[in-house]
Chain A
Amino acid sequence: MPVETSLPARSVVLSLYRTMQIIRQTEEELARCHQRGLIHGACHTYVGEEAIASGVAAHLRREDVVFSTHRGHGHALAKGMPPKELMAELFGRQTGCSRGRGGSMHLFSPEVGMMGTSGIVGPCILQACGGGYSFKLMKTDNVAVAFFGDGATNNGAFHEGLNMASIWKLPVLFICENNQFATEVPFSYAAGNPDVGSRGAAYGMPGFTLDGNDVLEIHRVAGEAVQRARTGGGPTLIECKTYRTRAHAEGMGDFTYRTREDVEEWKQKCPINRLRRTAVESSQASAADFDAVESEITTLVKDARDFAEASPWPTAESASRNVYSEGAAAAIAAPPPATRSITFTQATHEALAEEMKANPLIFVMGEGIGIRGGNFKTTAGLYDLYGPERLCDTPICERGFVGLACGAGMTGTRPVIDFMFADFVLDSVGEIINQIAKMQYMSSGRLKMPVLLRGCIGIGHSAATHHSGNYYGMYAQVPGLRVVVPSTAADAKGLLKHALRCDDPVLFLEHREILSIKGPVPDGDYEIEFGKAAIVRPGTDVTVVALARMVHLTLSVCDDLQKSGISVELVDPRTVSPLDVDTILQSVHKTGRLLIVDEAFGPCSIASEVSAQVADRGFNDLDAPIKRINGAFTPTPYSPTLEKVVIPQPEDIARAIRELMAE
């Protein structure tokens, strides 16, 4: 055992002891409650690891932020969450820190800087980078801390996150709690280099390996790291070797992968007893001091349990609230008449430039969006105005910077992720669906998620299958996301402005083959609300619902059809989530016929959804079966002759309309 040469002040020692006791006693009470059947889902305790959260959090201010893991009770308590809110959450009650929405693995208390725990391993590392990025942009000296287990260090998020934190010198502490098992897989088996602390060097940042049961040592090293972060010295990696002395989760068998003897041996290394012994031996504090703290906490935890048990259940009506932000919607002025014609790309550039000028919290991240101005000229000229922090070129690590955007959005800035091609961002779908989309809901609306994810979709010009994807249907299936698929320059500008002002995460998907199409765009400021379809062309005989490029292709056949007596009403939903079904239903009420033209794959698509909704709510208006034209259900081929046949062509659309009229 290392010799503690100098102990911190008595108040610090007792404070560390107090935090550890809060964690230990709360966890033991939770274990008891789990056995009694009062906790409904999983319960991952932090027993044995208390020194780490306590030693690090002792240096944090309320404004500093913590991002944590599935084993996060200790982090929440150490950051200042009252035990009663934690217990009520695990009891599933309205008074819980996440209002009963999260349970053990989703603890949110942004009010005290506890930005959330996650059931997924890795994202907290990236979100802490986002917190650090926000603080850097807002020029505060706050720091962000990621707590994660040894399992996360073998995950891509670790690599991507540490690298980004290093190159941008972000004020972040990466605290690896190496408890030697990732769920039940030994780290000694799973890691080629089992020394995590030494990996700091691989990213150009200080790295430490500490005894994770020595709260004083953790406290000392973390203090230096926090100071370094606050003063612009960048990130630090700290590995704390420790052990959890209860099962992975309460109720799970524990001795199929480790022995009773091992557990017993580590119980003897209890960090709480160790601090007490050390302090008493060196006369820094007395046994009576510690006893007083312990008994105070016993009362606190008992009260917490009583509070939890007496708390009301959340109401059924609240189950679907806060999926999207519920702030008062600002009045949205109708677009003034258009007086000029510009391209789709020019229109979105105007929207971004105007909003960046108005809102200093907006920053753009992506590959080549800095000096270069974007592969599609999305940010041309903006770097000269706003510099590298707001026009931030990234390494090619989509998961990394999308996860960072999540953390930035949670901490007060407004990231714009320019991912160039929608295909690229598939590497970060976990961050989008599991984190970004769910964050407002899981925090019961206390966190906002103003993250804009933009990039190109669409087939054309032999881009082949990794630069052609249309994935809006997939995103539209996820509650919490807004999905925008504009077809015209005017719509693109108004919708992008709205995206940059709303508090919801938005996927803004731009069909590459229409970027240079010019269209009338109003001068001046305007927004277009999500969920309002456009009647592109009124008609009486058949309703065609089309998206993005398909709007243009459909429009190209309407005049010919009109000459043969078929009047087409063309509806462009503009956003697929929310989807304006009412406008489509009104149109079908008039025409009695519906064709959906969508370049994306057919199964479980927007076309399927529109069909189902109309078949359900508009059944009595249908004078013919609903028809769909989708892109071929195949990866996108390269050769022009192959590519042509997988995209709906104007003649396909015209034929389908004629056939529908004969039904």
Chain B
Amino acid sequence: MAFEITIPRLGWSMEEGTFVRWLKKDGDVVKPGDAVFELEGEKAAQDIEAVDGGILRIPATAPQPGTVVAVGAIIGYLVGDGEQIPGPAGASAPVQTAPVVAAPAPAPAAAPSVRRMARELGLNLADVTGSGPAGRITAADLRPARPAAEALVSVRSRIASPRARRLARELGVDWTRLPGSGRGGRVRAQDIMSATPATGAATTASVTVPGATIPISRHRRTIADRMTYSRQNTAPVTLTTRIDATNLVSLRQQFKAAGGDVVPSFSDIVIKLVSMALEKQPLMMAQWAGEQLVIPEQISIGMAVDTDAGLLVPVVRDVPSLSLMDLSVASGDLIARARTGQLKAGDMQGGVFTVTNLGAFGIDAFTPIINCPEAAILGLGRIRREPAVVDNQIVPRDQMSLSLTFDHRLIDGAPAARFLQTISQALETPSAWLLSSP
């Protein structure tokens, strides 16, 4: 039988070698162990010994001295006496020379920072001519090509932590407009939180069964982050008091009886009265900003709305400028949009104080959580007709609890108590307060 003579691998990584010369002639008898040809590998030229025996047949297409040959290439045969070189392959022994592959065009050279800049400017580096060493593209090369000078400025002017960017994305906040409180002006998570009024939603009222796991929605995460942030970054104290709401109930009934298109809700009346109290005690809406307290210019008040998607706090803008009727229209619109998921991020920003009402659920007093960066929040309890002592007589009166949580970092107990007292007076005599408003 005929044995093939192949190019062996000399050393582990050799893929091709240089055929140096035959050490035997065509027709010579070769014994196993005889050196048959010389091959140059990676390290040195070496005599290659036959592993089989036979008569050497060198085909016409065998490699010439100096030819590069691939490992495994068949360069000759050892045949028995009178035997032919096997098959058509014998006529054209498949000497494999290493193919020359054109190298792919290299990507243009540019530093990572330049690549990033190009990405952010939407430029393709392949279209840019590099002026640096060996055609390297530099930052300067991008400038003539950039579409607008403004783009570069916005890219380079600000830094935000990855967490802050994520929160900003989730809350729909433009972080590039916020002052950063971190090192070197870095915008941090807390800066995003301070700039955002309460928003988000709980898990929808889906059926929950024992043992079920409920994925945490982004809204729920946001609520959790904001609640946790508030608890950790404020010094909340809650004051509660009970007031006589008979006049308030009576006033609302008068609006109803008047049969107008719009009937203000208890909350509308309270929001209006709270804005008046805030005008008297503006410290109650102070906000902590770096090394100073800032009193907002405009009294906009948030109202907590329970929706299928969870808690939302839309903001009624510039309450002092609104008549009670205007306020009622505005709040009605906000509530309707909150419940249909049509609030925009801007509808929930800019509040300086929040009113929340759990009276409908039979709750009297509770401890509302401050809606950062605001300084206080007022919780309304239920209105209930209860026996009261008036002029030594037990008479039925409408009673209501108020719960005021304030940030003791900014506001001391006495002024907060005075503020609650002011609100109490206003709610007990609402007509007089409303009529005295400009």
**Interface of A toward B, CB cutoff 8 Å:** 28, 31-32, 34-37, 41-42, 250-253, 255, 267, 540-541, 567, 592, 619-624, 662-663
Q: How far is the CB of A95 from chain B (nearest CB, A)?
A: 22
Q: In the assembly, what is the distance between CA of A189 and CA of B252, in Å? A: 112
Question: Contact between A250 and B8 (Cβ–Cβ < 8 Å)?
Answer: yes
Residues 1-35 (chain B) with a chain A CB within 8 angstroms: 4, 6-12, 14, 33
Q: Which of B11, B52, B72, B161 contacts A592, CB < 8 Å?
A: B161
Question: Closest residue to B10 on the A side, CB-wise?
Answer: A251
Contacting residues, chain A, for B190 (C-beta < 8 A): 623
Q: List 6 A-B contacts (CB under 8 A).
A: A31-B51, A36-B72, A37-B8, A623-B164, A623-B189, A663-B182
Residues 133-175 (chain B) with a chain A CB within 8 angstroms: 161-166
Q: In the assembly, what is the distance between CA of A37 and CA of B249, in Å? A: 98
Q: How far is the CB of B151 from chain A (nearest CB, A)?
A: 24
Question: Contact between B162 and A37 (Cβ–Cβ < 8 Å)?
Answer: no
Task: State whether A622 and B46 are in contact (beta carbons under 8 Å apart), knowing that A251-B11, A252-B11 are contacts in the complex.
Answer: no
Q: How far is the CB of B164 from chain A (nearest CB, A)?
A: 6
Task: State whether A621 and B44 are in contact (beta carbons under 8 Å apart), knowing that A37-B9, A251-B11, A540-B228 are contacts in the complex.
Answer: no
Q: Which 5 A-B pairs have the closest CB atoms?
A: A37-B72, A623-B163, A35-B8, A620-B166, A623-B161
Question: Contact between B8 and A663 (Cβ–Cβ < 8 Å)?
Answer: no
Contacting residues, chain B, for A253 (C-beta < 8 A): 10, 43-44, 46
Q: Which of A35, A37, A252 contacts B51, CB < 8 Å?
A: A35
Q: How far is the CB of B230 from chain A (nearest CB, A)?
A: 12
Question: Contact between A592 and B165 (Cβ–Cβ < 8 Å)?
Answer: no
Counting CB contacts under 8 A, is B343 at the interface? no
Q: In the assembly, what is the distance between CA of A623 and CA of B168, in Å? A: 12
Q: In the assembly, what is the distance between CA of A624 and CA of B41, in Å? A: 55
Contacting residues, chain B, for A41 (C-beta < 8 A): 12
Counting CB contacts under 8 A, is B71 at the interface? yes
Contacting residues, chain A, for B165 (C-beta < 8 A): 620
Counting CB contacts under 8 A, is B57 at the interface? no
Q: In the assembly, what is the distance between CA of A255 and CA of B232, in Å? A: 80
Q: In the assembly, what is the distance between CA of A109 and CA of B400, in Å? A: 86
Question: Closest residue to A624 on the B side, CB-wise?
Answer: B161
Q: In the assembly, what is the distance between CA of A338 and CA of B338, in Å? A: 52
Chain B contact residues: over half helix, strand or loop, or mixed? loop
Extra contacts, 4 of them, besides A36-B6, A592-B189 (Cβ < 8 A), are A36-B4, A592-B163, A620-B163, A662-B182
Q: In the assembly, what is the distance between CA of A32 and CA of B5, in Å? A: 10
Q: In the assembly, what is the distance between CA of A367 and CA of B186, in Å? A: 57
Task: State whether A567 and B162 are in contact (beta carbons under 8 Å apart), knowing that A35-B8, A37-B8, A624-B188 are contacts in the complex.
Answer: no
Contacting residues, chain A, for B232 (C-beta < 8 A): 540-541, 567
Q: In the assembly, what is the distance between CA of A454 and CA of B390, in Å? A: 83
Q: Among B8, B43, B47, find the residue whose CB has the most chain A CB atoms closer than 10 A.
A: B8
Q: How far is the CB of A295 from chain B (nearest CB, A)?
A: 16
Q: Which of A251, A255, A620, A624 contacts B8, CB < 8 Å?
A: A251
Residues 186-235 (chain B) with a chain A CB within 8 angstroms: 186, 188-190, 228, 232
Question: Contact between B6 and A663 (Cβ–Cβ < 8 Å)?
Answer: no
Counting CB contacts under 8 A, is B183 at the interface? yes
Q: In the assembly, what is the distance between CA of A28 and CA of B189, in Å? A: 71
Q: Among A35, A540, A624, find the residue whose CB has the most chain B CB atoms closer than 10 A.
A: A35
Q: In the assembly, what is the distance between CA of A252 and CA of B33, in Å? A: 14
Q: In the assembly, what is the distance between CA of A42 and CA of B166, in Å? A: 53
Q: In the assembly, what is the distance between CA of A15 and CA of B162, in Å? A: 74
Question: Contact between A623 and B44 (Cβ–Cβ < 8 Å)?
Answer: no
Task: State whether A621 and B12 are in contact (beta carbons under 8 Å apart), knowing that A32-B51, A592-B189 are contacts in the complex.
Answer: no
Question: Contact between B71 and A37 (Cβ–Cβ < 8 Å)?
Answer: yes
Q: Which of A251, A255, A540, A620 contacts B9, CB < 8 Å?
A: A251
Contacting residues, chain B, for A32 (C-beta < 8 A): 51-52
Question: Closest residue to A565 on the B side, CB-wise?
Answer: B232
Residues 39-66 (chain B) with a chain A CB within 8 angstroms: 41, 43-44, 46-48, 51-52
Question: Contact between B162 and A622 (Cβ–Cβ < 8 Å)?
Answer: yes
Contacting residues, chain B, for A36 (C-beta < 8 A): 4, 6, 8, 72
Q: How far is the CB of A30 from chain B (nearest CB, A)?
A: 10
Q: How far is the CB of A617 from chain B (nearest CB, A)?
A: 12
Q: How far is the CB of A223 from chain B (nearest CB, A)?
A: 34
Q: In the assembly, what is the distance between CA of A37 and CA of B164, in Å? A: 58
Question: Contact between B183 and A663 (Cβ–Cβ < 8 Å)?
Answer: yes
